[in-house]
Amino acid sequence: MILQEDKFFSGSIIENIVSFEDQYDPEFAIKCAKLAKIHNEIMKMPMNYETRLGELGNNLSGGQRQRLFIARALYKRLYILFMDEATSYLDEKNEKAINISISRLNITRVIVAHRQSTIDSADYYVELDKLNKNSKYTINL
């Protein structure tokens, strides 16, 4: 699950992507960072993937933090990826690029979003439209 706000742990970027696994696949971690559109920015940092993060990720922008959360989730090789406003801090260009990358993966995505570009990336969507006491909703298939 990727939330709008998540947590980092004190350690390097690579350690946070792989959730501090002792035995990890560095090539796959980098592939996940590329899918999350954060790799190029990591490579511009002084220590690349060894750049240290604090628990709050204060040395990163909101968009960079969200893209690292996405890379971390992708590294877990989930069958179902839940994203709750997981790209809300991103500009539309990065958000669209990430949506395209993830839509090409063989995983089910469940996304809570307000941006039309994210909604447009879905194969199917449920639109909750002015719920009333009968909890009516529209399903667009």
pLDDT by residue (tens digit) across 54-80? 766 677 888 898 899 999 999 999 889
Over pLDDT 90: what percentage of the chain?
Answer: 38
State how far the Cα of 78 lies from the Cα of 106, in Å rounded to an integer.
Answer: 10
Residue 83 · residue 36 · CB < 8 Å: no
| Conformation bin of residue 57: beta by default, left when phi > 0, alpha when psi is -120 to 50 | left
Q: Which of 6-10, 50-54, 105-109 has the lowest mean pLDDT?
A: 6-10
Domain total of the chain: 1
| 6 or 136, which is more confident | 6
Residue 67 · residue 98 · CB < 8 Å: yes
Q: 43 lies in which domain range?
A: 2-140
Residue 35 has pLDDT above 50, yes or no: yes
| 136 or 114, which is more confident | 114
The CATH number of residue 90's host domain is 3.40.50.300
Can you tell me the mean pLDDT for 21-49?
96
pTM of the model: 0.82
Model pLDDT, residue 140:
53
